[in-house]
Amino acid sequence: MPDTVDIPELPRALRAPEPVIVVGMVAWLVATVVVAVTDLGGGSALQICLVGLGVGLLGTTIVLVQRAGVRRGDRGAQEGLD
């Protein structure tokens, strides 16, 4: 009986961060527009939606910086973002 088991790598479509980022950003954008137009959720709902958009932009920036690091061959860059 072998000591190691070969685990297959996930397909690129299941590892890609882009669909998750796009869906999240679109959801926050829709929520922001709905809250701004209808004034739903009280006083802090618009702030929460804007923070959600900001976190999405921060996450997108991190992914793009890491991907650029992978292309340059930086040692500290995250693997699997090529």
* pLDDT one-digit tens code per residue, 26-47: 999 999 999 999 988 888 999 9
pTM: 0.72
**Whole-angstrom distance, CA of residue 49 vs CA of residue 13:** 28
Angstrom distances, CA of residue 2 to CA of 7, 8, 9: 13, 16, 19
20 closest CA partner among 69, 71, 64, 56: 56
Ordered by start, the domain boundaries in the chain are 25-32+43-71
- Looking at the chain, the whole-number percentage of residues with pLDDT higher than 70 is 91
The pLDDT, as a whole number, for residue 82 is: 55
- 3-state helix, strand, coil split of the chain in percent (to 5) is 65, 0, 35
Residue 80 reports pLDDT greater than 70: no
